[in-house]
């Protein structure tokens, strides 16, 4: 499943809001008694955003359509909530399919967001009509299915298709053209001229489409905008002409919807709609095709001008060819001298080998870092620098990278010659291949970067990430890793292991009375005593505060764990001498076994914590996890003073395990 990025979420949010607002504004362009707008700007915006941002914006189109339809049907129209929302969802799906299909068709059949060819313009008209038919059919069928319209299906699909096609022909090219970075901004003088043209054309359109239809129909005044359109195409680009078409179309639609202008010639809205849509078709297709023709003409002029400039440059180049050859030879000589100086004075240890990786020369930095002078390594193979046989495999892997490639990089421990002793240091090795004009390998340039400090820093960071910084014990994250690995090994080997959950008694009292500094020192000493009571293969971790966990792998008998628990209780009960204070604490320990008591790391911690709280009732003792309420808990003093009681407690534990 593909991950949804923040950019995609933002794109869909912008599309949803833009669609809702333009659809809301488009309601003013509706012809009564039609439900759909005769010019649907929202469809144009949806297709434009799909072309610009990609087809992943279809959820935004669906959300915007759902929101506007829910408002129109439920909030404004008073439709039943369930039917209105269901219908809005179906229409939203149809609109999303329209936008997605339009974007897909545009990419496959047009693929020219600048509309720079007449063929692309005509193909775009076909794309707009095709996608509008898809979306309109689905939307109308949904409205009829839910009973919101009862008109003839074909008639309604035609109205919706015409409106959506008009929206995509009028608004989409304008938005797409203004979004293209290839379209450069106009100079200031051209910008003022374009602003003046748009203002005049808008004023003329308002005048033409604000007079009554009977008066405006006497003369074909609606075509007075075409000289302005030709002016925009010639003086500017198809971007400005598309903007002009958009402005004129919005004004014409608004006026005609209010029975004004030359298209309001009949009481039948279908006639007005047909005349206006024909007007829009002529104007938009003229704008797109005319803009494409002008763009091709301008492109041809630029190509001729570029060819002329290239020819002049070639003539000038031939004129100075001999002089350039001499300058090139002199520059090469100086460059080689410069490279030799740079090689010698480079702060990075560098050496050059022949094609067989035998050392030819080294720089001063190499001698300073490795301790080897040129006389000691000249003629030797590069593997002389490899520190140990364990790194021979890394060296071979590094050489394998050069098969068919001109560079190789890797980490190798290298030799360092210091005072007649051989030391090693981690190094990042980079090998670059030098070839002659025939492609044959002539030399290798090898650079060594001493990464001792970097490796130390990485180890320090790893230590800090896996250990408690106060006590040096493992932290919670490392403990979980140890438990998972120990459980996996115990399962494979069919072994059991134990775990102790240690909680300090009275530590908070000491911390509050003597301060956090004394408390921290006490925790360090406690960690030392815990480590002194376990084996090398055991793990001790601090969970936080005064809680510790001890993992005891490879133990088969409860007595083994019991012996460690008893020793820990005994050690922590002894006085601690910190500065001038003698501090006394005790501990409560809960013990459990895998797989007897738990199957996972979380269950082990829970079982041990439960047993610890059972031991907490007596303090200074340990307790094995048991569901038996009669299980014995024996304090340290009782165990020391009554050995037979300790034996009885152990026997009781064994009887519980056997049961």
What tokens were used for 358? 């035998």
One domain for residues 151 and 204: no
What are the φ and ψ backbone dihedral angles of 113, each rounded to 5 degrees? -65, -10
Strand order in the sheet with 350-354: 359-362, 350-354, 441-450, 421-435, 407-418
One domain for residues 175 and 197: no
Q: 562: Cβ–Cβ under 8 A, 6 or more apart, which residues?
A: 591, 622, 624, 650, 653
One domain for residues 342 and 443: yes
Q: 511: Cβ–Cβ under 8 A, 6 or more apart, which residues?
A: 518, 519
- How do residues 219-228 score in pLDDT, each as one tens digit? 666 777 788 8
Q: Is residue 155 in a domain? A: yes
- How do residues 390-436 score in pLDDT, each as one tens digit? 567 777 777 778 787 888 888 777 877 766 567 777 888 888 888 88
> If you average pLDDT over residues 108-133, what whole number do you get?
84
Q: Would you call 378 exposed, middle or buried from its count of C-beta atoms within 10 A (0-12, 13-18, 19+)?
A: middle
Higher-confidence residue of 572 and 641: namely 572
Residue 592 bridge partners (DSSP)? 499
* Mean per-residue pLDDT over the chain, rounded: 81
Tell me: pLDDT of 629 over 60: no
Tell me: pLDDT of 66 over 70: yes
Tell me: pLDDT of 373 over 50: yes
One domain for residues 473 and 611: yes
Rounded to whole angstroms, the Cα distance separating 497 from 513 reads 39
Where does the pLDDT of residue 635 fall: very low under 50, low under 70, confident under 90, or very high at 90 and above? very low
Q: Is 487 within 8 Å of 601 (Cβ atoms)?
A: yes
Q: 94: Cβ–Cβ under 8 A, 6 or more apart, which residues?
A: 134, 135, 136, 137, 138, 139, 142
Rounded to whole angstroms, the Cα distance separating 205 from 327 reads 66
Q: Is residue 130 in a domain? A: yes
- Can you give the CATH number for the domain in which 18 is found? 1.10.1760.20
One domain for residues 452 and 471: no
Q: Is residue 305 in a domain? A: yes
> If you average pLDDT over residues 292-310, what whole number do you get?
84
Q: Is residue 536 in a domain? A: yes
Q: Is residue 331 in a domain? A: no
Whole-structure pTM over 0.75, yes or no?
no
Rounded to whole angstroms, the Cα distance separating 62 from 135 reads 12
Q: Is residue 430 in a domain? A: yes
- Can you give the CATH number for the domain in which 388 is found? 3.30.450.20
pLDDT value of residue 609:
94
Q: What is the dihedral of CA 112, 113, 118, 120, to 10 degrees?
A: 50
Which of 319, 350, 379 lies at the terminal end of a domain, its last residue? 319
Q: Is residue 325 in a domain? A: no
Which of 133, 151, 182 lies at the terminal end of a domain, its last residue? 182
One domain for residues 546 and 602: yes
Higher-confidence residue of 379 and 420: namely 379
pLDDT value of residue 482:
93
Tell me: pLDDT of 651 over 50: no
Task: Give the angle subtended at the CA of 454 by the CAs of 450 and 455, to the nearest 5°.
Answer: 95
One domain for residues 415 and 285: no
Tell me: pLDDT of 642 over 60: no
> If you average pLDDT over residues 566-571, what whole number do you get?
94
Q: Which of 82-91, 332-341, 569-578 is predicted least confidently?
A: 332-341
pLDDT value of residue 656:
38
Tell me: pLDDT of 572 over 90: yes
One domain for residues 160 and 212: no
Q: Is 31 within 8 Å of 272 (Cβ atoms)?
A: yes
Higher-confidence residue of 400 and 574: namely 574
One domain for residues 550 and 644: yes
One domain for residues 497 and 447: no
Tell me: pLDDT of 24 over 50: yes
One domain for residues 249 and 384: no
Tell me: pLDDT of 139 over 90: no
Distance of CA 322 to the CA centre of its chain: 54
What tokens were used for 438? 């025939």
Tell me: pLDDT of 630 over 80: no
pLDDT value of residue 653:
41
Which of 144, 165, 182 lies at the terminal end of a domain, its last residue? 182
Total number of domains in the chain: 4
pLDDT value of residue 421:
63
> If you average pLDDT over residues 480-508, what whole number do you get?
93
Cα–Cα nearest to 584, from 531, 533, 522, 512 = 522
Residue 361 bridge partners (DSSP)? 352
Report the phi/psi class of residue 648: left, alpha or beta, with left for phi > 0 and alpha for psi in -120 to 50.
Answer: alpha
Q: Is residue 330 in a domain? A: no
Rounded to whole angstroms, the Cα distance separating 293 from 120 reads 11
Residue 40 structural domain = 1-182
One domain for residues 189 and 177: no
- Can you give the CATH number for the domain in which 603 is found? 3.30.70.270
């Amino acid at each position: 499943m593909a991950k949804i990025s923040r950019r995609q979420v933002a794109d869909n949010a912008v599309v949803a809001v833009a669609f809702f607002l333009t659809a809301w504004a488009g309601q003013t362009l509706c012809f009564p008694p039609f439900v759909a707008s005769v010019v649907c700007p929202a469809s144009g915006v949806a297709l434009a955003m799909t072309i610009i941002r990609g087809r992943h914006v279809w959820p935004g189109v669906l959300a915007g359509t759902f929101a506007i339809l829910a408002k129109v049907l439920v909030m404004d129209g008073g439709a039943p909530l369930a039917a209105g929302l269901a219908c809005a969802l179906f229409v939203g799906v149809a609109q999303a399919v329209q936008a997605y299909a339009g974007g897909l068709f545009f990419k496959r059949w047009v693929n020219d967001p600048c509309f720079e060819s007449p063929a692309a313009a005509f193909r775009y008209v076909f794309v707009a009509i095709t996608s509008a038919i898809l979306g309109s059919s689905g939307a109308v069928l949904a409205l009829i299915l839910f009973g919101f319209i009862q008109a003839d299906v074909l008639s309604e699909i035609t109205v919706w298709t015409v409106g959506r096609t008009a929206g995509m022909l009028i608004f989409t090219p304008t938005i797409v053209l203004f979004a293209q970075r290839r379209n450069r901004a106009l100079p200031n003088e051209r910008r003022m001229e374009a602003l003046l043209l748009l203002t005049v054309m808008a004023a003329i359109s308002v005048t033409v489409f604000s007079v009554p239809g009977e008066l405006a129909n006497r003369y074909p005044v609606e075509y007075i905008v075409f000289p302005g359109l030709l002016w925009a195409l010639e003086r500017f680009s198809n971007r400005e002409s598309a903007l002009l078409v958009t402005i004129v179309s919005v004004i014409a639609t608004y006026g005609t919807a209010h029975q004004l202008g030359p298209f309001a010639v009949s009481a039948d809205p279908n006639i007005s709609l047909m005349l206006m849509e024909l007007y829009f078709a002529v104007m938009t297709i003229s704008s797109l095709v005319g803009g494409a023709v002008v763009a091709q003409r301008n492109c041809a002029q630029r190509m001729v001008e570029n060819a002329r400039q290239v020819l002049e440059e070639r003539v000038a180049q031939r004129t100075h060819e001999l002089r350039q050859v001499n300058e090139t030879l002199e520059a090469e000589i100086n460059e080689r001298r410069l490279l030799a100086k740079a090689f010698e004075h480079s702060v990075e240890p560098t050496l050059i080998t022949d094609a067989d990786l035998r050392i030819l020369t080294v720089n001063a930095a190499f001698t300073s870092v490795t301790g080897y002078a040129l006389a000691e390594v000249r003629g030797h193979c590069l593997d002389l620098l490899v520190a140990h046989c364990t790194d021979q495999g890394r060296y071979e892997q590094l050489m394998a990278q050069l098969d068919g490639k001109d560079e190789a990089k890797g980490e190798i421990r290298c030799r360092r010659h210091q005072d007649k002793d051989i030391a090693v240091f981690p190094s990042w090795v980079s090998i670059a291949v030098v070839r002659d004009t025939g492609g044959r390998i002539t030399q290798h340039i090898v650079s060594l970067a001493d990464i001792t400090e970097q490796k130390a820093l990485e180890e320090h960071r790893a230590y800090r990430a896996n250990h408690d910084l106060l006590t040096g014990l493992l932290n919670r994250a490392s403990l979980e890793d140890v438990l998972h690995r120990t459980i996996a090994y115990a399962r494979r080997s069919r072994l059991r292991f134990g775990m102790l959950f240690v909680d300090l008694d009275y530590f908070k009292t000491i911390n509050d009375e003597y301060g956090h500094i004394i408390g921290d020192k006490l925790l360090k000493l406690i960690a030392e005593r815990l480590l002194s009571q376990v084996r090398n293969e055991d793990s001790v971790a601090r969970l936080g505060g005064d809680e510790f966990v001890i993992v005891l792998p490879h133990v088969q008998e409860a007595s083994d764990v019991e012996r460690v628990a008893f020793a820990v209780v005994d050690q922590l009960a002894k006085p601690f001498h910190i500065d001038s204070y003698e501090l006394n604490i005790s501990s409560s320990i809960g013990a459990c076994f895998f797989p007897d008591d738990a199957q996972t790391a979380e269950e082990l911690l829970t079982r041990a914590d439960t047993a610890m709280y059972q031991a907490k009732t007596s303090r200074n003792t340990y307790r094995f996890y048991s569901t038996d309420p009669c299980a014995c808990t024996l304090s340290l003093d009782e165990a020391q003073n009554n050995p037979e009681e300790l034996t009885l407690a152990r026997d009781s534990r064994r009887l519980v395990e056997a049961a």
